[in-house]
Amino acid sequence: MSMDAIMRGLHFLAVLTWIGGMMFQLIALQPFLRLQDISLRLPILFPIVRRFMMMTWSSITLLLLSGSDMVIRVIVDQKVSLGSRLGMLLLLKWMLFGLMLVVFGFLFFRYFFEFRIHYRALLRKPDSKEATQHYQAIEALLPPMRNLTLINLVLGLSIIFVVEFALYP
């Protein structure tokens, strides 16, 4: 098996994991869990979101490594310039991916960190007034987290369409 095939396989796996995870979270998990009270859904939601965040970091690492390798191979092997159609599409793909990284970084470092702080505070069994404050804070964090995930899903699907345009002129 060639190195190119390995890189393409890893790249596809990383894309599938990140895009598929966002779709699962937005389409299946969150609508189902919204039917429950926050105190009942939180023990299910937090571990799933935490695992998804870790899978996303792994996907990002694989995408950066495999994507860089594939772009270098295309540019060197096919002597593609950035001014060509393929070069412009590759540049657009990298720009959209960079935007996805910014959105994910904001989601992770701003919202997920705060989500984790409130969740861990609830694990210490606070009094009912403090617990209510933590639950309300978590409820307030969920819509922006959902919106940022939706933005990243749209960006990720856009990248897939850019790749399709590159492959089929």
Place 108 in a pLDDT band, splitting at 50, 70 and 90: very high
Calpha distance 152→4 (Å, rounded): 27
Calpha distance 142→41 (Å, rounded): 12
Q: Which residue has the tokens 């978590």?
A: 138
Give the residue, 157 or 73, on which the prediction is more confident: 157
Alpha helices by DSSP H, listed for the chain, are 3-23, 30-33, 38-77, 85-106, 113-123, 128-167
Calpha distance 115→113 (Å, rounded): 5
Residues 6 or more apart in contact with residue 80 via CB below 8 angstroms: 74, 86, 87, 90
Of 72-81, 87-96, 122-131, where does the model show the most confidence? 122-131
Place 169 in a pLDDT band, splitting at 50, 70 and 90: low
Determine the pLDDT at residue 84: 80
Place 105 in a pLDDT band, splitting at 50, 70 and 90: very high
